[in-house]
Structures are given as C-alpha cells and as structure tokens.
Amino acid sequence: MTDSAPTILIVGGVAGGASAAARARRMSEDARIVIFERDSYVSFANCGLPYYLGGEISDRDKLLIAKPELFARRFHIEVRTRQEVISIDRQAKSITIRDLDAGRTYRESYDKLILAPGADPLVPPIPGVEAAGVFTLRNLEDTDRIAAAMPDARQAVVIGGGYIGLETAEQFRRKGLDVALVEMQPQVMPFLDREMVEPLHRQLEYNGVRLELGNGIASVEQRDGRAVAAVLADGTRLPADLILLGVGVRPNVALAEEAGLELGAGRGIATDDYMRTNDPDIYAVGDAAEYTFGSTGAKMRVPLAGPANRTGRLAGEHAATGRSRPAPAAWGTSIVRVFGTTAGITGLSLRAAREAGFEANAVHVIANHHAGYYPGAQAMALKLVFEEGSGKVLGVQACGGDGVDKRLDIVATLTHFGGTVHDLAELDLAYAPPFGSAKDPLHMAAFAAENHLDGLARVVQPDVDLCPYQTVDVREPYEVKALPLAECDDIINIPLDQLRDRLDELDPARPTIVACRSGLRSYLGTRILAQHGFKEVYNLSGATAMREFALNRRLPASRVTTPTGVPAPDAIMID
C-alpha cells in the first residue's frame, strides 16, 4: 500500500456504506474500494419500501438507487453481494468473508475498514412468532415477501407505532386491508410529547385503523403453521393473516464487539469525531454507530437515514485521505405522514429534555401554515422546547398538514448553530400569502417563549392540574358549553372582551391561569390581568385544544363531523 492508494473495505452497502464508498472514490482515484453486502442488493431506498408496498411507488426498480454495475462503471468500486463479513482480525488487518452462495470463506486485507452494517429489526421472543405471515421490514427481500402475501391477505396487524409501523399501516389501508395498529406505549411516536401525536391517533382511527395503545403483542396464534391472529397482553385477539413487526431495531454490532471494538452506552459502536472506532483504521457509521446528540452532547444511536449518509460520506473521505471535517451532531430530525396528517420532531421533546436534566419549558402555538385569508390554509400545532434562563432552543415538534417539514427544518438549522428563541424570533423568513405569514408560526412560538422568559406571559403546560388555581376561561359562553375545559369544575368564564369590566369577579391575589381555545386570547387576557395588579398569572399553553390532546379526551359528539363517528382529524382548532 501507499498513502495515496489504500485498500478500503466496506461492510454493508446501503445508506452509510454506499455513501462512504462513493466519497472515498471521489477523494482517491487510486484506492481499491470493495463493498461487501450480505443481501442481494446495495444502495436501495429503505425509506421508500412502505410506499412501494402501498403502490405509491409503483416501479420497484426505482428503489434501486445505484446498482453494482453503476458502482463498477462510474466509480470503479467493486460490489460483492451475498458476501457476509464474519470476522475482523485487527492485528493482521484483514476480514473473513463468507460467500453465502458458494458456502466458502475467504480473507481480504484492508488498510482502512468502514463498518456500515446497519441494524436488524427486533423480533420479540413470543410464541408463534415464527409462523408464516409474520414479517419484518428492512430490505427489499422483506418487501418482496410482504408484497407477495398482500394479495391474499384481508386483515393486517402492525405491531409498533414508530414511523415504519405508521407508514406501513397507512399503506396497508391504501391497499384495502383491514388494519390494526398495536403500540405498547400509550401513544404512537413515543419520542414526541403526548399531545403532539394525538392528531395522528385521530387520523388513524378516522381512516379505519383500529388502534390498540398501551398494549403489546403476547403471542401469535397459528393454524397449520400460518398466523391467524395476534394475541395481545390484555388477551385481545386480533384476527390477522399478515402481521408486521415494527418494534424497533437492534444495531449490528457483533462483528465489532468480537473484534474488541468499544461499544457506547447505547450499545452502538463507539466513535470519535471522525467516526473512527477505538481502532483508528476502523470506522463505524450509520445505524450501528453512535453519534453525538446535539441537544445533550451525549453519544447515542440515531437510526435515521440522514446521519447514516452524512457520516458515511465523512468516513469515506477520512479513510481515503486521513482528513475530513468532524462529524456533525445529530438532532433526531424526523417526520412521518399518516394519511393527511404529518408530525415530526427535531431535538428533544419536553419530556425528554426534563429527563435529560434540563430546566426546560415549552410553548404551544396553533396557527395556519400560511396566511389564513389565502385559500387552502391548514392548521398546524407547534411545540417549541427551550431552556429556562438562556432561552436555548432544545427542540420543536410540529403536527399538521402542509408546512410541517419546513418548520422542523428551520429549527433543525437553528439548533445546529446553537440558536435561542430570540434568534428564532429574529429570523427573516420568506413570505408571500401562498407560503407563510408575515409572522410565521415559528415566530409566534418564539414570541411566546420570549414573553415567558421575560415574565410578560408565563406559561403552564396544557395538562396542568387546574384545581389549585383561579382559572379564567376567556372564550365565549357558547364555546365553553360546546367544549368545557377538561378536568376542573371551578372555572370562571369571562369572555375576553368583557374582562376589563369584570375584574372585580376575580381575586388578584390568587395564582391565576387564563385559558381560551388555542392560546391567543388567553395570552391577551394574561396581559390584561398582569397589568391590573394580578400577582401571578399564567397562560395555559395551547389552551383547550392542546389540553384535550394532552389529557387524551375525545371531542364531544357535537364536534364530530366524520362519517365513522370518530372525531375529525383536523380538530386542531385556531382562535
């Protein structure tokens, strides 16, 4: 070997591995680069698999982003499929590979080794899980098996309410299957706060998906070796001829661990700033590796495509040249579409921020994704999580329709640069009525956070126990009648426009919470009371709308507008 022409071997040929290989070639024309992939395909679009199952992507070939022929022709990269790397000899700097078709093993020497073996779906050790009709979804082979089973299937049970489970449930419905979705936590997308995913629950039910929350799969009932039902922990029996397990992934770290490479606290392969393991000639990227998580600075696994591609690219460059920029932090920026509703997060939820030890708070804003007077405005709920005192933005969650992705990405950009709510308030964002508002929902959230930090309108969270407080609901009486503020009887209703004239009905010495429908009128009411000598006044963040979601209350029948009797999924209400 010479410094300029190393042999770079890569384990795994999809997101991280393919990115690493292509970048290594762009940095070194001379390097010998070989990808070993145990499956039959490399560089395929895992993220597109659910949409192929549902027919939104109709051409299977489109899922194959770069085939071995292209790697060979354009990049002079050798791709060996059906080759499983089974061990690493760090002293000899070689790997042993099993040719899965020929059944033989052989060795290859490396100067640099890049591990991108990803993660495998978790399969819970429950009775019957081996039955025909039980699937996981990770690669094209899985997809082909599921696609082959779908035409004969009528009832599907999806286990797991993460994004793979949600997307697949949606696509199964699209294909006309009866679908039940089972999630052990009391909510789907458990890394978001409860109230921010409730619209997803409603959307799922509205579209005929049976939701089983707070319930896990206990066994698979089978007949003649075929799954016929999923049996849940509470005994519920869900008939099924197709069961998809989407309960999480386990990083493929055995190869690294057996070679003596260090694992981190999250049981991913430990890496430094350049994605090197504790062996400087071995890199680890993607779902098997640990990254620095932006909000906390802690090392953890973030099994998402973006970080896998970016770290693969950096490791490829570093392996080829000995130099690269350091790997950026990951923020867990993720998004899911479930029928008409989109939800996502970047950074930390409020729950996660507090668990991580931050003195964190959050504001909710419910607003239109573009100017309300321009046709087609869609309601969106935002929850901005920040640190008390510094105002540092720790994360944002968004739920709605169009424009959710834009708000997540703006905050992902802001947090990358360590921004505060004050920075967010100052951003000069593009605006014309079809695209946004002169004061974007993100500006509104930043203003609300600033008002809290400045003591102008302090917030309490929507699930707060109202009973110890004097609670003033500033909605109109007909609104209160239609949707009373949940879980407290002792609420004083004074419509906002009468508040100044009826102050004598309130006790200015009592801690007071002001509520309305979405938080805007209550903010105005908070300011009126504060300027009339009320000592301790809070705005109920997100108001009735978010309280309904946070306490998991279903809207009363009078608000039900759907044919199935399920509350309308667009029940995000705007003042």
Residue numbers at the binding site for ligand FAD (CB under 6 A) = 11-12, 14-17, 36-39, 46-47, 49-50, 84-85, 116-118, 137-139, 164, 252, 255, 286-288, 303-306, 308
Positive or negative torsion for Cα 105, 111, 116, 122: positive
**Taking the CB of residue 216, how many other CB atoms lie within 10 A of it?**
17
Q: Which residue is nearest to ligand FAD (CB)?
A: 286
CB of 69 to ligand FAD, least distance (A): 18
CB of 117 to ligand FAD, least distance (A): 3
CB of 393 to ligand FAD, least distance (A): 21
CB of 286 to ligand FAD, least distance (A): 2
**Taking the CB of residue 71, how many other CB atoms lie within 10 A of it?**
22
Minimal CA–CA distance to 28: which of 323, 232, 384, 227? 323
The residue (of 287 and 387) whose beta carbon lies closer to ligand FAD is 287
The residue (of 308 and 350) whose beta carbon lies closer to ligand FAD is 308
The residue (of 101 and 507) whose beta carbon lies closer to ligand FAD is 101
CB of 173 to ligand FAD, least distance (A): 17
The residue (of 85 and 380) whose beta carbon lies closer to ligand FAD is 85
**Taking the CB of residue 179, how many other CB atoms lie within 10 A of it?**
27
- Distance between the two ends of the chain, CA-based, in angstroms? 69
The residue (of 93 and 517) whose beta carbon lies closer to ligand FAD is 93
Beta carbons of 300 and 311 less than 8 angstroms apart: no
The residue (of 84 and 423) whose beta carbon lies closer to ligand FAD is 84
CB of 98 to ligand FAD, least distance (A): 9
The residue type of 218 is A
Any residues with CB less than 8 A from the CB of 246 and at least 6 apart, and which? 121, 136, 137, 158, 159, 160, 162, 164, 165, 168
The residue (of 117 and 519) whose beta carbon lies closer to ligand FAD is 117
- Alpha carbon distance 366, 448 (integer Å): 12
CA distances from 327 to 16, 43, 272, 312, 323 (A): 13, 22, 9, 10, 12
CB of 264 to ligand FAD, least distance (A): 15
* CB half-sphere exposure, 374, CA atoms < 13 A: 14
CB of 217 to ligand FAD, least distance (A): 19
Beta carbons of 337 and 330 less than 8 angstroms apart: no
The residue (of 41 and 469) whose beta carbon lies closer to ligand FAD is 41
